[in-house]
Structure 1
Amino acid sequence: MTVLRYTAFTTDPAGGNPAGVVLDAAGLSAAAMQEIAAEVGYSESAFLTQGVEGADGVVPIRYFSPQAEVPFCGHATVATAVAVAERVGAGEFTFSTPAGLVPVLVEQGPDGLRATLTSVEPYVDPVSDVTEVLDILGWQADELDPELPPYVAYAGARHLVLAAATRQRLADLDYDFDRLLAFMLERDLTTLQLVWRESPTVFHVRDPFPVGGVVEDPATGAAAAALGAYLRELGLVQPPVTLQLRQGDDLGRPSRIEVELRDSDNRVRVSGNALVMGPPGLD
């Protein structure tokens, strides 16, 4: 058993969000996968529980943060799909995640292999009161963008979307880790999707992830899909449209995430490159 180390949503090994990838986790218990994820220490590690082939072309996959299993992880899916394509060839793969079936198309591009995942069916729910979470973040109500109201958005995992009125507000992130962790556990949230809208199709995003034992994610594909569903549901963009998400800049790990909304279906497509970070470990 070997843990591969990839970084997703970047073409630079120093950027993106690192993920551990185990291509043959057959026989590993949930406890063993959790232990490996904790030792790797990345925000998530992905495990193919029946190996690369899978039954009938469907590849079962599970995701673990250093602290807990999560139902879906976008960056680890992109990383795993690229790792598989490097071994069996580019093409379309279907991952069976705890959240549902997620098709991923891997193609060769000018900057290397690029993966596009298609989310499970998304939904969004309005949020009536954000007083507590704003206090935890140290944000004021008048620092929110009134044109992007708070919602919980889901496209495989639940994320609370909060929009900052300025880039400076987004950049100045310093929150109470334990309080936010308790807040999120009570509401079954995976991350906060904190956003600032630069233009109608360009968004800067940050994702606190205390549920996974991580202060902040440098690239969050699941939250990107959820944000796409949110923007469409609220009529803030009009499909067909492609959005550019910029994440990780404030952490020194720039990440670029592409989100595509089609008018033919409600599912959200999230694209990005992935590449090896370094030699395998935990042999």
Structure 2
Amino acid sequence: MGDTATMESGYVFDTSWEREHGRLLALEEIYDSQSRHRLTELGVADGWRCLEVGCGAGSIARWLAKQVGAAGRVLATDVDTSFANTHGLSNLEIRTHDLRADDLPDASFDLVHARAVIEHLPDRDEALRRLVAATRPGGWVIVEDFDIDGPTEPAAAGYYPGYTEPAERLGRALRAAFGAADVAPGTGRSLSQALTDAGLTEVGAQVHAPVRTGGDAVFLPLTLRSLRPRLLATGEVTDWDIEDVITLTKNHGTTYLPNFMVSAWGRKPV
């Protein structure tokens, strides 16, 4: 999930779409640096056992495998693992797994990480409970999810004249489309409280708001094209609105903000 889906019901992206792999790679290009920074700050090191839930195209799982070395191990899971590859890393295992239904090893991991996963699950509290249960006492859980209800809209900065209203309509359509699929658009902002409620300590959170320059990334255009049928079904936008915002993201010299990504972390009590 994270990057693809750890479930079928409620996941808004079509993993069979011909450009889905490219969309996942674009997501990694924008958000991996923040994920790696936070994982490093939590102390991931040689010999650690790590679980990457919703591994998507696998970049963070491969990075973790390099950090933990030959003495460590990384288990990367997803419902659809077709985009993930070990790239020959012998300490990395990729496994098809549904977080909602399939068991995980109990109290086995020094680090459990899930990005853009929890927001797609209908029972988010139970999903967090499963992640915490898989973490050893003293280990870390880090969860990252979007805040689609946040103060930014896609293409929220650097408007050219005439783009403000289409972008605002698109923001409403995104929230409606995700809500119709039982995706919680404000999951990001609630993560720190959710981790506290799950019994973790030393809980912290940080917002990542990457400012993009027009023409330098394809994540937002590919995401909007993937979601186009769902967005149009809301009645909030027209096809022209979607294309107007995509055009804005391609204009060199303008800037735009994808939705905020919130990283939250906590430690399982010893």
TM above 0.5, one fold?
no
TM-score per shorter chain, which class?
A: under 0.3
Structure with the largest fraction of strand: 1
TM-score by length of 1: 0.25
Structure with the largest fraction of helix: 2
